[in-house]
């Protein structure tokens, strides 16, 4: 089993919408970024799984996703796990 610091979870929200991204290893030890998005308070939403060659590639995907979410007006409301997000453009 992977140590607790081997995963990252981020959540952004704006006006009734949410977007989450998780970086974790699957059962075979491969790195996967999972995106979940939809409307707050509703059960329906979308899920997308993207395999990564390494943890570093997954971290870069999360940083890019954070930049995109901020440009689109989302606010990061929760960050769990170790990941240094570039906040120099805020």
CB 38 within 8 A of CB 48: no
Give the side-chain half-sphere CA count within 13 A for 27.
0
At 5 the pLDDT is 58
How far apart (Å, rounded) are the C-alpha atoms in residues 17 and 23?
21
pLDDT, block means (10 residues), the chain with 90 residues: 70 95 94 95 91 95 95 94 67
pTM of the predicted protein model: 0.82
Per DSSP, the residues of 10-75 read EEEEETTEEEEEEEEE-TTS-EEEEEEEEETT-S-EEEEEEEESSHHHHHHHHHHHHHHHHHTT-E
Domains and CATH numbers, the chain: 4-80 (2.20.140.10)
Residue 22's pLDDT is 96
The count of residues in the chain is 90
């Amino acid at each position: 089993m992977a140590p607790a610091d081997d995963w990252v979870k981020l959540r952004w929200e704006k006006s009734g919408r949410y977007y989450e991204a998780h970086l974790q290893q699957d059962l075979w030890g491969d790195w996967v970024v999972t995106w979940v998005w939809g409307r707050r308070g509703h059960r329906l939403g979308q899920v997308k799984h993207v395999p990564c060659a390494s943890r570093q590639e997954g971290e870069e995907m999360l940083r890019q996703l954070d930049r995109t979410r901020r440009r689109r007006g989302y606010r990061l409301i929760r960050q769990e796990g170790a990941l240094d997000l570039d906040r120099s453009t805020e």
